């Protein structure tokens, strides 16, 4: 029996502001899910037109329209954990927000990512929204997007695993806000203890595949050196799922340039889905 009631398939690329192989990545992940898990598609603008900058965010209009669609779809799905398949790291903005709204102050947001995604529109060097998602889930971001965050995550609810390629403003904010940061996967018990010690009983798992080491798994939008092995990632996911019920999850940033990439990425993805997520 899967932990999930449904999968939301959301090939959004505008948050990365590059028409790279996210659509192919989303398709492949969808094809690897068990047929018993109902899949629901969020329609995305596939146009390769350059994105317009608005309020320091590239493609804000389109991102807002797509987030509206995702939020509307989420409201039609059963209560219970949904697995969002991206797409860029912003694909689960509305589903991570929804998970917290159902159980305010009880959800740990576990951000498993080579990056911190903690920029504000003003601090972001690129204007790419996929680097602002955690900050938005904490209630600070473009109004057109954070209107879906009815219940912001507080700093004590945010936990990073292997965030290692951070902008200097992000590093400053991690220190200032005292966000939990697990650097070595073998210290996972520290994370478990911190979640429980902060009175949180459920976890939301956001997996950006760039948490993996690019030598083992280069099929991502923004690779970050010195990441986890696939085995270490699976152990971390298993350990977390053994200790806490899921509020939801997402797998993001799979970027496949061609069929060779798709073939080469499959064994790791199958392992992560089955051993990491129990699918
Ligand atoms: Mn990332």
202 domain residue, yes or no: yes
pLDDT in tens, 197-207: 999 999 999 99
Average pLDDT over residues 163-190: 96
How far apart are the CA of 112 and the centre of ligand 1, in A?
8
128 domain residue, yes or no: yes
CB contact at 8 A, 223 and 239: no
How far apart are the CA of 209 and the centre of ligand 1, in A?
7
Q: Report how far residue 213's alpha carbon sits from residue 114's, in angstroms, rounded to the nearest whole number.
A: 9
146 domain residue, yes or no: yes
219 domain residue, yes or no: yes
Q: Report how far residue 63's alpha carbon sits from residue 137's, in angstroms, rounded to the nearest whole number.
A: 15
How far apart are the CA of 89 and the centre of ligand 1, in A?
7
Neighbours of ion ligand 1 (CB under 5 A): 113-115, 208, 210
How far apart are the CA of 115 and the centre of ligand 1, in A?
4
Give me the domain span that covers residue 204. 6-276
Sign of dihedral through CA atoms 132, 165, 17, 172? Answer: positive
pLDDT at residue 47 tops 90 = no
Q: Which of 107, 129, 118 is nearest to 62 (CA)?
A: 129
CB contact at 8 A, 8 and 85: yes
CB contact at 8 A, 83 and 248: yes
What's the Cα-to-Cα distance from 195 to each of 28, 101, 186, rounded to whole Å?
33, 18, 16
How far apart are the CA of 194 and the centre of ligand 1, in A?
23
How far apart are the CA of 128 and the centre of ligand 1, in A?
12
Average pLDDT over residues 36-42: 98
pLDDT at residue 48 tops 80 = no
Q: What is the CATH number of the domain that holds 214?
A: 3.40.800.10
pLDDT at 127: 96
pLDDT at residue 102 tops 90 = yes
pLDDT at residue 26 tops 80 = yes
Residue 191's H or E segment, with its range, is helix 188-197
181 domain residue, yes or no: yes
1 domain residue, yes or no: no
How far apart are the CA of 249 and the centre of ligand 1, in A?
15
State how many domains the chain has. Answer: 1
66 domain residue, yes or no: yes
What's the Cα-to-Cα distance from 130 to each of 5, 86, 113, 236, rounded to whole Å?
26, 11, 12, 23
> What is the number of other CB atoms lying within 10 angstroms of the CB of residue 189?
10
How far apart are the CA of 134 and the centre of ligand 1, in A?
11
How far apart are the CA of 79 and the centre of ligand 1, in A?
28
User: pLDDT band for position 1 (50/70/90)?
Assistant: low
Q: Report how far residue 115's alpha carbon sits from residue 161's, in angstroms, rounded to the nearest whole number.
A: 9
What's the Cα-to-Cα distance from 94 to each of 147, 150, 174, 234, 276, rounded to whole Å?
9, 10, 23, 25, 23
CB contact at 8 A, 237 and 277: yes
Q: Report how far residue 103's alpha carbon sits from residue 73's, in angstroms, rounded to the nearest whole number.
A: 19
pTM over 0.95: yes
């Amino acid at each position: 029996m899967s932990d999930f009631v449904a999968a939301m398939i959301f090939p959004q690329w505008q948050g990365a502001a590059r028409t790279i192989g996210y659509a192919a990545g989303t398709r492949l992940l969808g094809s690897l899910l068990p047929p018993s898990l109902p899949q629901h598609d969020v329609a995305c603008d596939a146009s390769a037109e350059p994105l317009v900058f608005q309020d320091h965010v590239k493609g804000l209009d389109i991102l807002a329209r797509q987030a509206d669609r995702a939020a509307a779809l989420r409201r039609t799905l059963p209560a219970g954990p949904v697995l969002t398949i991206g797409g860029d790291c912003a694909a689960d903005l509305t589903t991570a927000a929804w998970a917290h709204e159902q159980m305010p102050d009880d959800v740990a947001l576990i951000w498993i990512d080579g990056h911190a995604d903690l920029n504000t529109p003003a601090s972001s060097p690129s204007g790419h929204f996929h680097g602002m998602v955690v900050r938005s889930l904490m209630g600070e971001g473009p109004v057109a997007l954070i209107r879906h965050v009815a219940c912001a995550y507080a700093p004590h609810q945010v936990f990073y695993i292997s965030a290692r390629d951070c902008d200097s403003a992000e590093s400053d904010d991690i220190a200032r806000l005292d966000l939990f940061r697990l650097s070595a996967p073998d210290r996972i018990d520290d994370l478990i203890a911190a979640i429980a010690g902060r009175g949180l009983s459920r976890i939301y798992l956001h997996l950006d595949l760039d948490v993996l080491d690019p030598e083992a798994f280069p099929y991502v939008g923004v690779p970050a050196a010195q990441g986890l092995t696939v085995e270490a990632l699976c152990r971390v996911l298993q350990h977390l799922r053994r200790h806490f019920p899921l509020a939801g999850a997402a797998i993001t940033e799979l970027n496949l340039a061609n069929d060779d990439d798709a073939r080469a990425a499959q064994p790791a993805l199958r392992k992560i889905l089955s051993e990491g997520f129990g699918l």
